[in-house]
Amino acid sequence: MKHVKLDRIDLKILRELQQDGRITNVDLAKLVGISAPPCLRRVRALEESGYIRGYHGDIAADKMGYGITVFTQVSLINHSESDLNNFARQVEAWPQVRECYMMTGENDFLLKIVAEDWDAFQKFLTNLLGNTSNIQHAKSAPVMKRIKYAYGVPLDSKSEPQESKE
């Protein structure tokens, strides 16, 4: 992976792309104050170095028939690397799980689950999650209302990013 040391122009590019991933290169170049060819080279370098992982549409779950979101904390009985990996592979196969995080502390995983309605969530819970071996307990918290949604990271507060050690 190509290494890029970010400067203020790169940060401007990242800010603009985070706000509008469909912006044209010409418009992006104008906004960040450089010409189009070097702007495109910088964007490609940011992609190749892993700063830009992809471009996605923000789909309205409710418009697509997914009326509920539930966060579920899962604790496993066994915590060997193979047990953790097995659970992670199972989660990957469930399209209802939109996000999954391995956690420290009392719970091992946090799942963000979407469902059409309560019946669909109950079926997911009993037929898929509930039938998964190695689960000690699962605790669910339904979302009543989303108060804030901010994708990406807060780039406006960054003057120079810390270099990743990955």
Specify whether 52 is located in the same domain as 111. Answer: no
Looking at residue 26, which CATH number applies to its domain?
1.10.10.10
Looking at residue 134, which CATH number applies to its domain?
3.30.70.920
- pLDDT 10s digit of each residue in the chain, 166 long? 566 789 999 999 999 999 999 999 999 999 999 999 999 999 999 999 999 999 999 999 999 999 999 999 999 999 999 999 999 999 999 999 999 999 999 999 999 999 999 999 999 999 999 999 999 999 999 999 999 998 889 987 665 555 544 4
Residue 148 lies in a domain: no
- Is the overall model pTM greater than 0.85, yes or no? no
Specify whether 113 is located in the same domain as 45. Answer: no
Specify whether 53 is located in the same domain as 75. Answer: no
Give the whole-angstrom CA distance, residue 136 versus residue 75.
5
Domain of residue 32: give its range.
Answer: 8-57
The secondary structure of 94-137 as a DSSP string is -TTEEEEEE-SSS-SEEEEEEESSHHHHHHIIIIIITT-TTEEE
Specify whether 66 is located in the same domain as 46. Answer: no
